[in-house]
Chains A and B, each alone.
Chain A
Amino acid sequence: AQSVTQLDSQVPVFEEAPVELRCNYSSSVSVYLFWYVQYPNQGLQLLLKYLSGSTLVKGINGFEAEFNKSQTSFHLRKPSVHISDTAEYFCAVSDPRTGTASKLTFGTGTRLQVTL
């Protein structure tokens, strides 16, 4: 079974500052990794995904994430945040061996609060 840990439930940051949202996973096999964003009163939207290859993955809205197999981490970063980045961010994993549907296991989420 897989699990995902997002250690920070809330991250406050000033506008134009850099931010890192942490994600660690636990799995006995290789996994696929995803970051989703949820703006207020909306569903989840895919930010980026890691399937294989380069460990640095670039996504939408200037976000990027780095896969670190030895540390089982997939931290999300942005060099300069904007007020509009205020949202909840979810890390998720799926098992490549899945024979049927691509089930995701989600972390508990990190609320990013950007202020002036």
Chain B
Amino acid sequence: DVKVTQSSRYLVKRTGEKVFLECVQDMDHENMFWYRQDPGLGLRLIYFSYDVKMKEKGDIPEGYSVSREKKERFSLILESASTNQTSMYLCASSPGTGGNQPQHFGDGTRLSIL
């Protein structure tokens, strides 16, 4: 069965800290995604990656960076956390290209920045 694992379910950090959110998939998928989910706004794409070391900005990349050194792992980095980055973060993966493959999601990390 498909499995996307996010390292933490809940995380509390302080303003100005560097924060790492980790995501691992076991399906050998080419594509990986990071979203943030906020009430009334749905899911918004932060960054995605279609291959190792390859990344592209999504709709709201400001304040974030990503790293994909291995195919199965995709990290989201908050360089200097701010309170407006308090949110639910969801990681997803999908195979191939062409837009017809559904994405598989992790259970999310609820991040609070104090």
Q: Give residues in A with beta carbon < 8 Å to B.
A: 6, 9, 32, 34, 36, 41-46, 49, 51, 90, 94-104, 106-109
CB distance from B19 to the nearest CB of A (A): 20
Contact partners of A43 in chain B: CB under 8 A: 4, 90, 92, 105-108
Known: A102-B103, A107-B42. 5 other contacts (CB 8 A): A34-B102, A41-B108, A43-B108, A44-B105, A106-B44
CA distance A106 to B105 in the complex (A): 14
Known pairs A44-B90, A100-B50, A102-B103; A109 contacts B42 (CB<8 A): yes
A101 pairs with B50, CB closer than 8 A: yes
CB distance from A63 to the nearest CB of B (A): 15
**CB pairs A–B below 8 angstroms (16 shown):** A41-B107, A41-B108, A42-B107, A43-B92, A44-B43, A98-B99, A101-B33, A101-B56, A101-B94, A101-B97, A102-B31, A103-B45, A103-B48, A106-B42, A108-B40, A108-B41
CA distance A9 to B105 in the complex (A): 22
B94, closest chain A residue (CB): A102
CA distance A61 to B76 in the complex (A): 33
B102 pairs with A103, CB closer than 8 A: no
CB distance from B90 to the nearest CB of A (A): 6
A99 pairs with B97, CB closer than 8 A: yes
Contact partners of A34 in chain B: CB under 8 A: 102
CA distance A51 to B70 in the complex (A): 31
